[in-house]
Structure 1
């Protein structure tokens, strides 16, 4: 090889380095460190560029404790470690989330596990890709002294957040199956529900567990019954359009698995999860103790009863289809494979 034009041979180069002064050697060390640092910055930039962006659509504000798994997954960098850059947007309710996904306005989204039944019957190709609990995310919350249960609704004052969701459908179904136990059912906003319960203006309401903790803060002593004890209600689910499932199955699986890790953290370490949650949601109205209780109740009343975390139960889904058809909300039942997939959790 030609080492002309001022370049030294390997042996002479070695001798030059041997003769470097200590100052020159220090300069070389700084140069090497700078080069290494540059490579590290380039690698980090490449990681950011390589991270897949996911826009997750929520049916309500992220600050609701029901969405704690997403907050904890963000705080613990679970999505980042899975190669994802996740942002959250909000739509008005689960059906609106499904509509947006079908129209390509988001990548993934959240709604109750039965929502695909309504979506698919409207011609919107959206499926559930993970069910975040084996029980209902809605609970029949009542005053202990009112003794509200499935067989004792006659004359009870019960509240629901809407006459157009599962909370009302479940109570309506209960009264139809027990004609002699007609309650008085009213529609109220969530703050009105827990305030009325605490003031003994309601005997009970159907809502989420954190609403019950709000009533407890106002002095109410409660009984909690998961809605699925008497109606095939389901937990919240992660939704994706059929197009998204076909194009980005690995991205969906990465998001689902990271979220399930966060749920497991809530189940096994509710107090620690409460501290992590407060870091991500410092403006939450709940104290550490209240969040710990909420997470403990979520674990018992929502996340439980799944042999494999995240899976849909075909029997429950079929029962929900039948219930919606009976209510006239859907014209026909569709194949279960059109409604959900368990391949992202199994």
Structure 2
């Protein structure tokens, strides 16, 4: 708790100073297909073009946990992040607003090809990777385990939930460090291409596939001090989503270029095509889904209660 309070204090001081004269917009995102609007906006230069003379400082993170630590420290103004870390941060008093959706679904459970896992129940006694503890896939996994009468070791069960960055899971499989992984795309499709088995599709992970995976958030004080910049960025975000949906082939090329630069891995186009079929891209914010997700947060033990998320949603900024 002391660390959280220290980060929040630092965030308020740093953001206030930065917001008064924003010569730079600091953006956080992940090297995942579920963050495709960020990857496309960066690759095509549409974010920088929208901001004009204001410099864009884009930083890649491996998980929502590490990204939100940077956000709490006042190092980011805008960020693409999963609903789990965003909701947790909001309930702890972090000054943020959820201003747009970015992607839905796009998370799958894959088992190592030489493991005996064939169903969710077979995860008992196994090691399962998630991007980080407390992130969106971790919370989803704990809910899945509960539906099967299972629990993580930290909750008194026998499933070893292990944090591993998604791009590193193929190496973890090769070294037999984990037996399965709940990962965002395109890393699920990449594992399948290596011969590993799909155990749970995006539709069986939660809510029939109708769930938010990535949101766009903004620091509240930054938004109040720089409404023109935030509006410009949101327009570029909407343009990126539209480009992905209208020109998927060109979007996949742009995404692959960014993934290669960030991870050193250029994917087979067929892998991206498969991953695309499991992921939807939208600017919409589904309050009902977010409220249900907040309830999963409580169920997983990462929050004490479900907050009033309306206080943290600002879809009107996107409409402008």
TM-score by length of 1: 0.67
**1:166 counterpart residue number:** 136
Q: Which of 280, 284, 295 pairs up with 1:303? A: 280
8 Å contact 1:131–1:311 — kept in the other structure?
Answer: yes
**1:35 counterpart residue number:** none
Q: Which of 21, 27, 45 pairs up with 1:77? A: 45
Q: Which of 166, 172, 182 pairs up with 1:206? A: 182
Deviations 1:201-223 (A, max 9, x none): 86632012222233234333535
**1:110 counterpart residue number:** 80
8 Å contact 2:41–2:240 — kept in the other structure?
Answer: yes
**1:293 counterpart residue number:** 271
How many aligned positions are there? 285
Q: Which of 302, 308, 320 pairs up with 1:335? A: 308
**1:129 counterpart residue number:** 99
Post-superposition shift, 1:279?
A: 5.0
Q: Give, in whole Å, the separation in 2 of the partners of 1:69 and 1:311.
A: 13
8 Å contact 2:110–2:199 — kept in the other structure?
Answer: yes
| 95 and 216 in structure 1: CA distance in 2 versus 1, 3 angstrom threshold | closer
Q: Give, in whole Å, the separation in 1 of the partners of 2:179 and 2:78.
A: 37
Higher normalized contact order (CA 8 Å, seq sep 6+, divided by chain length)? 2
8 Å contact 2:108–2:200 — kept in the other structure?
Answer: yes
**1:41 counterpart residue number:** none
2:294 is the counterpart of 1:321: yes
2:57 is the counterpart of 1:57: no
| 158 and 343 in structure 1: CA distance in 2 versus 1, 3 angstrom threshold | farther
Deviations 1:76-105 (A, max 9, x none): 232244234422135674345345445543
**1:139 counterpart residue number:** 108
Q: Give, in whole Å, the separation in 1 of the partners of 2:25 and 2:237.
A: 13
2:198 is the counterpart of 1:187: no
2:217 is the counterpart of 1:239: yes
3-state secondary structure, aligned to 2:186: helix
Unaligned runs of 5+ in 2: 1-21, 152-156
3-state secondary structure, aligned to 1:239: strand
2:233 is the counterpart of 1:255: yes
- Within a 5 Å distance, the mapping from 1:89-104 to structure 2 comes to 89-90=59-60, 93-102=63-72, 104=74
- Structure 1 residues 195-204 or 170-179, which shifts more? 195-204
Post-superposition shift, 1:118?
A: 0.9
Post-superposition shift, 1:158?
A: 5.2
Post-superposition shift, 1:175?
A: 2.8
| 220 and 228 in structure 1: CA distance in 2 versus 1, 3 angstrom threshold | same
Post-superposition shift, 1:66?
A: 4.5
TM-score by length of 2: 0.71
Radius of gyration: which is bigger?
A: 1
Cα root mean square deviation, aligned = 3.7
3-state secondary structure, aligned to 2:316: coil
Unaligned runs of 5+ in 1: 1-50
3-state secondary structure, aligned to 2:218: strand
Deviations 1:224-243 (A, max 9, x none): 51133479863122211221
3-state secondary structure, aligned to 1:344: helix
Post-superposition shift, 1:300?
A: 2.9
